[in-house]
Structure 1
Amino acid sequence: MTRIRRLFSALLRYWKITAPATVVVIGAAVAVIVATTDPEPAAVAYANVSRNFRACMLATTNDTPEANRVWPAIQAAAARAPINAERVTAPTGTSDQLVPYVNSLVALHCGVIITAGPELAAPVAAVAKTHPGQRFLAAGQPPTAANIRPLPSRPEDLTTALITTAQHGNPAH
């Protein structure tokens, strides 16, 4: 405590030196801040992704291996084209229990709904009949409607198919 008291008494005693020195230090700090600050902030670039093509993948908890094979291909397409990729995992259930999950993706205006796994074959077939304008890519099932296509076996082919589909627009919007 006595050291601090001695320091302040020295500053008060030599105020003619410490006051101008303090002003110089504060002035230098302000000059550095002003010199390093941009006079105009950079313009913010906005990207409206709401009108991008939407590719939605639906899988159940039992379809993890197939979903893990398909999802990177969807992400690769999204990186190369204006595509919003959505992934939904539904709990394992009966066909009637899975239909609302497929319908929710239709309601999200997905340009294409990609299903991973055989558990979704019946729900997709049911929804495809009631939504003929919705496109589906289904894994492990033969197409049962004109708007259901088989999922390409190679991830690269899926990526290419998604980019091509996205370039042709989104009929769901």
Structure 2
Amino acid sequence: MLGATALIALAVDQWVKHLSTEHLTPGEPVRILGGLIYLSLLRNSGAAFSMGSTYTWIFPVITLVVIGWIGWMATRLRSVPWAVALGLVLGGALGNLTDRLFRAPGPFRGHVVDMISAFGPNGEHFAVFNIADSCLTVGVCLAVLLELTGRQRDGSRITKKAESETPATKEETA
């Protein structure tokens, strides 16, 4: 489930980026949904809100660490919701890593293709983002929700009663 989710997220992200670079012109946003969303082709050398644009090389390094951690977590994963959450994070990370490695100006310095602008044509109200960014955000939010509701990566669930029991009490009840 983790792998399938990641592959779907990566494929959709790269397909939308391909369509965007083929059919959108920088500086000429396309208004859709009555102006709720604009498609604005941008190339981002930084992270969210273009932060860290002078340190472009660090983003692929961080991404590789995240991918390694998700790979390690996958060996212990027994929960479908966690697999979906981590698959979304992995797919989003791979989508932006692909841009960093294979787009201009070169490997580890490539600019990420962004195209979705909410509430304004050029990111006046919110950062311009892409499908990979959306997958990362939804995956992280889902993971936080799973943690807050006590759902464990091994498929078990922590209940309020189990949280309040001491180790001695758990042994006595077993």
TM over 0.5: no
Given the two structures, how large is their TM-score scaled by the length of structure 2?
0.25
Structure number with larger C-alpha Rg: 1
**TM-score (ref. length: structure 1):** 0.25
Answer 1 or 2: which has greater strand percent: 1
- Flag the structure with higher helix content: 2
